[in-house]
Amino acid sequence: MNLHRSFCYLALGFVASCVLSSTPVHAASTAPMTDAQKAALARQVREELLHAWNGYKQYAWGHDALKPLSKQPHDWYEHSLLMTPVDALDTMLVMGLTEQADEARKLIDEKLDFDQDMYVKDFEITIRMLGGLLSSYQMTGDKRLLALADDLGRRMLPIFDSPTGMPYEYVNLHTGAVKGVESNPAEIGSLLLEYGMLARITGKPIYYEKAKRAMIELDKRRSKLGLVGVGINVETGKWTNGTAGIMGGIDSYYEYLLKCAILFGDKDCERIWKENIAAINKYLADQRPDGLWYGQANMETGQRTTTYYGALDAFFPAVLALDGDRDRAVRLEDSSYRMWNFAGIEPDRFDYVKMQVVNGEYPLRPEIVESAYYLYHYTHDPKYLAMGQTFLESLVKYCRTDTGFAALSDVRTKKKDDSMESFFFAETLKYLYLLFAPPSTLDFDAIVFNTEAHPMKRSLATPAAVR
């Protein structure tokens, strides 16, 4: 399975010619995997989470994250918001790690306080903190978690008080002051799952209304081709960067359109999603001799601008699969897997025409694993299990340290970076575990994952659930 790594050292032209051949060089095995083999891999993922969690406990307890090389704690802001415990809690619940989940919940219940005079970023705090608190509340019934989510939501509401209703990037949790007018579709349109669920559970419709208006206002500013750019001013509503794509800065906006249509039965989101996916497939999809990719284009003209694909773009096969477009999903995941194998682990940005790494960072991202999990759920094709095994082996070989897992500063050299973000617990390890675990571990059809892989129960999302 690791023979692909030798290809990294061949001349670029030969690599490109290999990848462009009719038979993929790095195709995943289609051999069936026994239940015992899957169970063993699930146990290994569980053990790796315990390894990383114990490193966090030993060196960074009570802080946002562990720096796994220097063995030092890291906080995003002046005061810790316990990002790793909040992000990791529902993953540990899914894995049946009761002792570890209880100690994380106790720390959150006793120490997490949002009344802090500091600015925080709306997008990351919403998907990690609000999403994590809501999903963990749904799993445990711990009302303190819901109270924290409601308190956080209330403190975050001023972000929506712009002239357009699109959110500012930062808000002070104590004063409500806001700043940051330059934003993007992902940060504007990836809030409705969390605020919508908070509205449904608490019976406070203002949360849904504010996040929904932001999404609608963004949609009003699509180009005549139906595309959005990657930069917009939330006060003027004017685009500051007209590059369209599915990359970071836009990615989860598309994801939330579809998922909000599913979770809340929102017809506006359903309509906007259908219009957007038509434009995406018309102007951004790029069928090459080696397979399907998605690149970038000018939002006004549809003209191709760059041919970049990367770790963040690899979320899209999961979205396509969720939408029922299994053909494109399968082909795009195959391309993502080629990108992963090009250097033995995926880069943050890859030029799929030149077959060159553009940005070699690997921050322990989960998206390609997420897509393999979705596709295995829908197709039961064992090649996705083989992909998952490759992902796990690469993580252990290149990223594991004696205290956890480290990001890579460059996948070509495999040099480690002193970072282990909380999404590694929330997403990467959760999706890897669910890929190998029995389907009964988490009922896929009963939940919708937010973009941080926090599962939201569909049964709690209907207006009738308001109490």
What's the pLDDT at 27? Answer: 80
Instruction: Based on the residue annotation, tell me whether 367 is a catalytic residue of this protein.
Output: yes
Strand ranges for 2-160 from DSSP E:
65-67, 72-74, 119-121
Tokens of 437: 């675990």
Are residues 441 and 434 in contact, defined by beta-carbon separation less than 8 angstroms?
A: yes
Which listed residue (102, 103, 109, 124) is catalytic? 124
Which listed residue (87, 266, 334, 367) is catalytic? 367
Please report the DSSP string for 314-369 in residue order. GGHHHHHHHTT-HHHHHHHHHHHHHHHHHSSS--SEEETTTTEEEE--B----HHH
Which sign, positive or negative, has the C-alpha torsion 81, 83, 84, 90?
positive
Q: How many Å apart are CA 65 and CA 223, to the nearest integer?
A: 40
Are residues 105 and 91 in contact, defined by beta-carbon separation less than 8 angstroms?
A: no
Using DSSP bridges, classify how beta strands 119-121 and 170-172 pair: parallel, antiparallel or unpaired.
antiparallel
Please state, rounded to an integer, the average pLDDT across all residues of the chain. Answer: 93
Tokens of 19: 């990848």
Tokens of 230: 């990657």
Q: How many Å apart are CA 80 and CA 385, to the nearest integer?
A: 37
Q: How far is CA 309 from CA 145, 312, 313, 353, 428, in A?
A: 38, 8, 6, 10, 19
Are residues 64 and 76 in contact, defined by beta-carbon separation less than 8 angstroms?
A: yes
Q: In the 3-class helix/strand/coil scheme, how is 195-221 assigned residue by residue?
A: HHHHHHHHCCCHHHHHHHHHHHHHHHC
Q: How many Å apart are CA 336 and CA 371, to the nearest integer?
A: 9
Question: What are the chain's domains?
Answer: 1-81+311-453 (1.50.10.10), 114-306 (1.50.10.10)
Tell me how crowded residue 111 is: count the other CB atoms within 10 A of its CB.
Answer: 11
pLDDT < 70 positions in the chain: 1-26, 463-467
Which listed residue (217, 251, 286, 334) is catalytic? 251
Query: Under DSSP, is residue 146 helix (H, G, I), strand (E, B) or coil?
Result: helix
Query: Under DSSP, is residue 301 helix (H, G, I), strand (E, B) or coil?
Result: coil
Rounded-to-10 torsion of CA 435, 438, 440, 444: 20
What's the pLDDT at 26? Answer: 64
Which listed residue (46, 105, 128, 365) is catalytic? 128
CB-based burial label for 31 (10 Å; 0-12, 13-18, 19+): exposed
Are residues 449 and 134 in contact, defined by beta-carbon separation less than 8 angstroms?
A: no
Instruction: Based on the residue annotation, tell me whether 128 is a catalytic residue of this protein.
Output: yes
What's the pLDDT at 29? Answer: 83
Q: What is the pLDDT of residues 359-406, one digit of tens each?
A: 999 999 999 999 999 999 999 999 999 999 999 999 999 999 999 999
